[in-house]
Structure 1
């Protein structure tokens, strides 16, 4: 019985229509834009992430919404809507186009206590992300919403390597 409850509570946050628009239009547009000198209209919200699949070795490149925390990039993504984040269960090399500059980084899933604070701060800075992910605004302001966010979201930190 507990399994059924968990499955219904962790329903997908991104609709199929949103996914189609994202995959067919937005990703290719932003992918083209983020690695050019014309990155500035979107580079305050998006970075271009590129990494090799853990098992397949296949190269993946796509835009992700981010927030900068100190010297790191933090990305929050719904667990149920994708599995790309699983490639960073162990710290892994990747490339990030950050504000028009290609940078080497190490990405990892955050599972420590710092994770909860990052979720709160991420949504405080990215208010619209709460709406997009189906939390009805900033989950950091409501206990139940925040508890759901903590269960339903993966938090990843990308630390730039020294150049």
Structure 2
């Protein structure tokens, strides 16, 4: 969760699209959203948590791709080597809720760390088809 961690996104993306996806696909997936204005597809690797057919992930607020999910919108995920479709949406939540969800997704994260990250994070839920 480093601020300038985007340098490794192309490497993670390549691994998740390869036969070696199993090295990362237990905790990472590729999320593709379509720009509301441009129609351009944006694909980014994200850490995720899963409960049944619901996926949870976060984005740093400073990123822009998540804005395409302010209203429920179709998404595609590459999950454990398979393409799946779903509907994604930003979950409006307070900092305490985001901190609690961060700790669920990252069990090693302390409460203090989660509280520090929560203000800058956006919570996203995806309902798989």
Q: What is the TM-score with the length of structure 2 in the denominator? A: 0.83
Moved beyond 6 Å, runs of 4+: none
1:55 partnered with 2:37: yes
1:156 is matched with which residue: 111, 124, 127?
124
Q: Which protein has the bigger helix share?
A: 1
Q: What secondary structure is seen at the aligned counterpart in 1 of 2:63?
A: coil
Q: Distance in 2 between matches of 1:157 and 1:145?
A: 18
Q: What secondary structure is seen at the aligned counterpart in 2 of 1:111?
A: coil
1:89 is matched with which residue: 42, 55, 70?
70
Q: Distance in 1 between matches of 2:50 and 2:73?
A: 19
Which 5+ residue runs of structure 1 have no aligned equivalent? Answer: 1-12, 129-136
1:40 partnered with 2:22: yes
Q: Which protein has the bigger strand share?
A: 2
Q: How many pairs are equivalent?
A: 127
Q: Distance in 2 between matches of 1:124 and 1:156?
A: 14
Q: What secondary structure is seen at the aligned counterpart in 2 of 1:93?
A: strand
Task: Mark the CA change 1:150 to 1:31 in structure 2 (over 3 Å): closer, same or farther.
Answer: closer
Q: Distance in 2 between matches of 1:75 and 1:145?
A: 14
User: Larger C-alpha radius of gyration, 1 or 2?
Assistant: 1
